[in-house]
Amino acid sequence: MSRNAAPMTPTSRRALLRGLLGGAVVALAATSLPHAALAGEGGGGQKSEDPEVLRKIKMSPMLLPGRDRYSYVRLQVMLVVRMSKKLNEEVDTVTNLKPRINGELTESFSVDRLTNTNLGIDDIKALKGRIMDVANEACGGPYVDEVLIMSLLVG
């Protein structure tokens, strides 16, 4: 730090943090909309016949509150539906309930505050288990067999 630099006051620090968080929200909103269109989400695309491809459902990125006061979590997961004889119906059920799962996860993270900036292996396993529990609760049955974390940014 140079001698001529002005000291950072608490109000300027808050303004800097608000600007940083606002920029992150704008960047998330700007990147999530075209990505959904490019990934073929939202219908209109061709469905694969391969069960391994069919059973993986990509969720849209979620901006969730973190454990600390001004922290947030950007989370993108892929839900893997269990293998069964009614695979197509279960995949359609989970796909149709994606907005509900997203809302339940947002409410759950607001209450539980599961993540902080220091995540270990046990924390990630607990996070995946909680996401699977919330998704199965939102679907009304044990449809989700596994959760794959595609992106986890904590700030």
143 lies in which domain range? 49-154
139, two tokens: 């679907």
Residue 72 included in any domain: yes
pLDDT digits (tens, 9 = 90+) for 51-103: 788 889 999 998 877 777 777 888 899 999 999 899 889 999 999 999 999 99
Q: What percent of the chain has pLDDT over 70?
A: 73
What is the spatial distance between Cα 140 and Cα 50, in angstroms, rounded to a whole number? 25
* CATH number reported for the structural domain that contains residue 61 in this entry: 3.30.479
Distance from chain centroid for Cα 117: 16
96 CB neighbour count, 10 Å cutoff: 10
Domain count, the chain: 1
